[in-house]
């Protein structure tokens, strides 16, 4: 048995169930529920809850993106994939500033200021 915790970034159950009673499980990122599009997401849950789960000595075996459509919010998915390889929570402000400069080739202060609205 392999448990897919589809809503683990918003309503984690692994702590309540003692890591699913020892069964191997995968934490999933699902946040759009059928093409509810927009630039939104629980940024702190993606970073901090991932670190908490990684530090659990029990039965977590991986992370999964659970996308329900195309044209998703790539920012949240990218953040999850980057965070999965880091033992420390990603510094959100720097993450967004670097993302803007990398995507739009240069220093765009107006775009960087927009990223601060969600953090």
Phi, psi dihedrals of residue 63, rounded to the nearest 5°:
-125, 155
Burial 76-110 (b: 16+ CB within 10 A, else e): bbebbeebeeeeeebebeebbbebbeeeeeeeeee
Is a pLDDT exceeding 70 seen at residue 51?
A: yes
Residue-level pLDDT at 76? 77
Mean pLDDT estimate for the chain? 77
Report pLDDT digits (tens) over 63-104.
Answer: 888 777 666 667 777 888 888 888 888 888 888 888 777 777
Report pLDDT digits (tens) over 10-23.
Answer: 778 888 888 889 89
């Amino acid at each position: 048995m392999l448990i897919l915790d589809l809503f683990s970034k918003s309503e984690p159950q692994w702590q309540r169930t003692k890591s699913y009673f020892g069964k191997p499980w995968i934490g999933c990122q699902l946040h759009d529920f059928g093409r509810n599009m927009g630039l939104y997401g629980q940024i702190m849950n993606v970073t901090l809850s991932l670190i908490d789960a990684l530090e659990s000595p029990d039965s977590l075996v991986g992370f999964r993106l659970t996308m329900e459509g195309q044209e998703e919010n790539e920012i949240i998915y990218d953040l999850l994939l980057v965070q999965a390889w880091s033992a420390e929570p990603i510094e959100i402000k720097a993450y967004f500033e670097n993302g803007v400069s990398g995507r739009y080739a240069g220093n765009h202060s107006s775009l960087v200021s927009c990223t601060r609205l969600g953090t």
